[in-house]
Amino acid sequence: MTLAQAEVKPYVAASYIHTDNLFRLSDRADPNAVIGSGDRSDNYRRLEAGVDMNAQASRQKFNLQAGVNQTRFERFNFLDNGGGSGRAVWDGEIGSAWRGRAGYEYARSLSAFEVLSGGKNIRTDRRGFGELDYRIFPSWRIRAGADNYDVKNSLTTRQTLDNRTVSRAIGLHYVNAAEDYLGVQSKSTDGSYPNPENINGVSVDNGYDETENGLVMDWRPAGHSRLRARASYTERHYAQLPARDYKGPTARLIYDWNLSEKTLANAVVWRELTIADDLSASYVLSKGINLGPKWSATPKVTLRAGLGHEIREYRGDPRLILTALNQRSDRLNAATFSADYLPSPKIQMGLGYETGRRTSTQALSDYRYRNVSGNLRVEF
C-alpha cells in the first residue's frame, strides 16, 4: 500500500501559567495547615516536544500524535513532573459497505489540582477503541463499537480510584445523502475497581454494570449549523450497596453555528453520570451548559471565549449509606478568554485568562481561582 499523501509536523511548545490558588483551597481554609505555606499562588512552566502525522492511502486515513512534556513549579516544586501523550487512529473504508475507525490513546499527567494537597499523584490513562459501520441498505446502516478505558494512579492513597471500564454499543441509523443520521443505540458498560475502598472498616467494591438505551443524532439542519445529540435511559447497578444505583435519563446535545465566515458559536448541554474528578470512586450526576464563541478577527488573530455552569450531585458516594454523611452537591462556574496570533503558518503565540468558582454543600470544598497564561508553539 502506497501512501498517496503524508504530512509530518514535528513541534516544540512552551507555556507559562500563573494561578492565584493552585490547590483550589477554600477562602476559609488555613493554607499553612493544609499545604504548609501561607501563599496559595504559584507559577509553573511547561515544555513540550512532539510530532503530528497525517497520512492517507486510497480511502484509508491515519493519524499519529506523540509528545513528551516537563512541568516545573516555582514554589511547590515537589509537584515537578514529566508526562507525555500518544494517539494513533485509523479511519477508512473497506469495500462499498463497510467503514471503520479504531485507535489507541495514552496520557500520563499530574492529577487535578483539587487533590494535589494530598501529595503528587501521577495519573496514567490508556484507551483503546473501535467502531465499525455496515451499510445494509443505501439509507440504513448498523454501527457497532467497543471501548476499553483504564486509569491508574501513582499515589498509594489514590489507588482506590484505579479503574477499568469496558463498553460495547450497537445501533441502527437512518442516513441521508449528506451522511447525516438519526438512530437508536444500546450501550452496556462494565466498570471494575481492583482496589476496594475502606469506609469505617467496611471494604467497599465500587464495581458496577451500566446500560444505556436511547436515540442518537448527527444532523445539519442548514449549511451553517450542525446538531449532535444523544438521549438515553440509563441504569447503573452496583454489586455492593445497591442503594446507590441510578435509574433515569441522561443526554448530551452539541450545537455548532457558523454565524459568518469568521464567527463560530458552540453550545453544549448535558445530563450525565461521570467520575468525581479524582476525588472519589463514586459517580456524580453532572448537569451543565457550556458556551464557546470563536472569532477570527484577521487571518492571523483568533479570539475565543468560554462560559460554563455545572451542577454536580455526588449520588454514588458509598459513605451516604455507611455513615451519616449528607449528599454533597457542588456548583461550578467558569469563564475563559484567549487570543491566538500566527506571525507565520508554523508559529503560534497565545495569551489566556481563566477564572472559576465552586460552591459546595460540603464544608471547605468551595474555592475561587484565576489563571493567566502565555504559550508558544513552533512547527518544523
Going from the C-alpha of 240 to that of each of 27, 140, 204, 278, 346, the distances in angstroms are: 37, 41, 7, 21, 54
Residue 278, pLDDT above cutoff 60 = no
Could you tell me if 173 and 216 are in contact, meaning their C-beta atoms sit under 8 angstroms apart? yes
Residue 48 to residue 69: CA distance in whole angstroms: 4
Confidence of residue 113 (pLDDT cuts 50, 70, 90): confident
Please tell me the predicted confidence (pLDDT) of residue 277. Answer: 65
Distance from C-alpha of 268 to C-alpha of 253, rounded to nearest angstrom: 6
Helices in the chain by DSSP H: which ranges?
Answer: 31-35, 319-322
Q: State the pLDDT at residue 221.
A: 87
Cβ atoms of 22 and 36 closer than 8 Å: no
Residues 152 and 161 sit within 8 Å (Cβ to Cβ) = no
Q: What is the mean pLDDT of residues 118-141?
A: 95
**Residue 117 predicted with pLDDT over 80:** no
What backbone torsions phi and psi does residue 78 show, to the nearest 5 degrees? -65, -15
Residues 109 and 46: beta-carbon distance below 8 Å: no
Chain-wide mean pLDDT for the chain? 94
pLDDT at 150: 97
**Average pLDDT of span 199-222:** 94
pLDDT at 3: 58
Confidence tier at 2 by pLDDT (50, 70, 90)? low
Q: What are phi and psi of 196, to 5 degrees?
A: -60, 155
pLDDT at 279: 62
Instruction: State the pLDDT confidence band at 191, using cuts at 50, 70 and 90.
Output: very high
Q: What size, in residues, is the chain?
A: 380
Query: What residues does 182 pair with on adjacent strands?
Result: 174, 217
Amino acid at 151: V
Q: Are 211 and 169 in contact (CB under 8 A)?
A: no
Average pLDDT, integer, range 173-196: 96
The predicted pLDDT at position 320 comes to 85
Return the pLDDT at 371. Answer: 98
pLDDT(189) > 90: yes
Grid cell in block for residue 131: 467502531
**Which of 131-135, 279-283, 366-370 comes out lowest in average pLDDT?**
279-283
Question: Which cell is 236 given?
Answer: 447503573
pLDDT at residue 264, rounded to an integer: 96
How many Å apart are CA 19 and CA 115, to the nearest integer?
Answer: 16
> Which position has the higher pLDDT, 200 or 12?
12
Q: Round to whole Å and give the CA distance between 295 and 300.
A: 11
pLDDT digits (tens, 9 = 90+) for 348-363: 999 999 999 999 999 9
Which whole number is the average pLDDT over 97-120? 90
**pLDDT confidence tier of residue 324, bands split at 50, 70 and 90:** confident
Instruction: Please give the pLDDT value at position 4.
Output: 63
Question: In this predicted structure, what is the pLDDT of residue 276?
Answer: 73
The predicted structure's pLDDT at residue 319: 86
* Residue 243 in this model has a pLDDT that exceeds 60: yes
pLDDT at 99: 96
Stated pTM of the model: 0.91
Mean pLDDT of 222-230: 93
Residue 29 has pLDDT above 60, yes or no: yes
Structure confidence at residue 118 as a pLDDT band (50, 70, 90):
confident
